[in-house]
Homo-oligomer: A and B are copies of this chain.
Amino acid sequence: MKKAYSELSREELLSLREKLGREFVRYKGQNIHLDMSRGKPSIAQLNLSMGMMDVFHSESDLKCEDGTDCRNYGVIDGIPEAKRLLASIAEVPPANIMIFGNSSLNVMYDTIARAYSLGIMGNPPWCRQGRVKFLCPSPGYDRHFKITEEFGIEMITIPMTPVGPDMDMVEEYVNNDPQVKGIWCVPKYSNPQGYSYSDETVRRFAALTPAANDFRIFWDNAYSVHHLYEDRRDTILEILDECEKAGHPHIVYKFTSTSKISFPGSGVSAIATSLANLADIQKRVSVQTIGHDKLNQLRHVRFFRDRYGVEAQMRRHADILRPKFEMVIGSLEEELGGLGIGEWTKPLGGYFISFESLPGCAKAIVGKAAEAGVKMTPAGATFPYGIDPNDTNIRIAPSYPPIDELRTATKIFALCVKMVSIDKLLES
């Protein structure tokens, strides 16, 4: 059993610090360049979808099932078979789906942008409603927060728990403050903690009675089929269904995409929502574009065929990702377990592990790691305005590097945690 750092004497800490410092210098000398900053699939994962490059050739029939020539203009909401495929991923009826372009982030941005300048379902645009607000369960996804920040929307931090956001706070804000227009959610294998919302959390979302008519839950179901294990999977209640049952069918926009199923940047994205919301969105989007890339929609359907094809693909992704997650978690346990200087999550899916350092250490750890050539997501990025009030949260993205590099990167990271933690303990 290792001794917690807090129980070490000043002399022990100083001596350990010196030893760790020498180790750090050795790593620095190796001219390392490793990246654990972004949730990018690895090359091996990208290779899984190369068969998609063979599904079309110059003699292919590029009509979709209703006879539409996918090569030409038109079809604002997506071809029927793509709707079915994305609906199966999003766990909603195909009628509730609208297909978009290559990026669900872009769809979320545009949804905020439309609400801001044009308004939701006949309500005044947010830009004419004074200072509007968004709830931001944190730690959360930095790119979500950047969007609301861009539009000058006031962001309110809601603490995350292992079963979802603090719902007492969510209800308090949403049900009473008409300036609160939305909340960012990654309900399954959340970014960065890998937490999944409990049934009670989902039901409390569905039961919200927003003070604002134009309040919407932004339900980013980015990791719906992104399990690491066959036998241990998080499942969450389907939010559209729950909202319908609760009598609030219009309060949620659900987003999904194939970015981490096929190719990031060349996938297909979608919104799932009530028919009234869809009609509102389609009316607006038909001014924005004549249609999204139907050939890419058809390419995805011809390659994956259906939900079973997607699930088979996700098992292959899991086979590549699982050893990386296990290695990082095992290595953190080995290096830091029992030292009392950090905690980390052990997710069953998604793309991230979340690390909690001693208060006031996250920025310094990330800076130290960068010094040794290991790039992490900037500390603070997982909170609104990039400010983590306790400076404790660090997002670890194990997906991209090959496992050997990841092992080195994790060792260096753990070393930096130790050094910065000792410095902090010596300060006090």
Task: Enumerate chain A interface residues (CB-CB to B < 8 A).
Answer: 38, 40-41, 43, 46, 49-51, 53-54, 56-60, 69-75, 101-103, 105-106, 109-110, 113, 116-118, 125, 127-128, 143, 146-147, 150-151, 259, 263-266, 284, 287-296
Contact = CB atoms under 8 A, between A and B. Distances in A.
Contacts of A288: 105-106, 109-110, 147
A53 B299 CA distance: 11
A265 B284 contact: no
Contact of A40 (B72, B110, B146): B72
A293 B102 contact: yes
A60 B71 contact: no
A74 to B, nearest CB: 7
B109 A40 contact: no
Oligomeric state, in copies:
2
A50 B58 contact: yes
A209 to B, nearest CB: 29
A51 B40 contact: no
27 contacts: A40-B73, A43-B69, A50-B60, A54-B57, A72-B263, A72-B264, A72-B265, A73-B265, A75-B265, A101-B293, A102-B293, A105-B289, A106-B288, A109-B288, A116-B117, A117-B127, A117-B151, A118-B151, A127-B127, A150-B284, A150-B287, A263-B295, A264-B290, A265-B292, A266-B293, A293-B293, A293-B296
Nearest to A41: B72
A47 to B, nearest CB: 9
A265 B72 CA distance: 6
Nearest to A127: B127
Q: What 10 A-B pairs are tightest by C-beta distance, nearest first?
A: A106-B289, A266-B295, A53-B56, A73-B264, A109-B288, A50-B58, A46-B71, A71-B263, A103-B289, A102-B293
A265 B291 contact: yes
A109 B289 contact: yes
A247 to B, nearest CB: 32
Contacts of A70: 265-266
B105 A290 contact: yes
A293 B103 CA distance: 9
Given A40-B73, A117-B127, 4 more contacts: A38-B73, A70-B265, A102-B293, A103-B289
Contact of A72 (B46, B74, B150, B151): B46
A266 B296 contact: yes
Contacts of A40: 72-73
Contact of A265 (B106, B150, B151, B294): B294
A321 to B, nearest CB: 15
Most chain B beta carbons < 10 A, residue from A38, A40, A113, A117: A117
Contacts of A125: 127
A51 B71 CA distance: 13
A296 to B, nearest CB: 7
Given A53-B58, A73-B264, A294-B266, A287 B46 contact: no
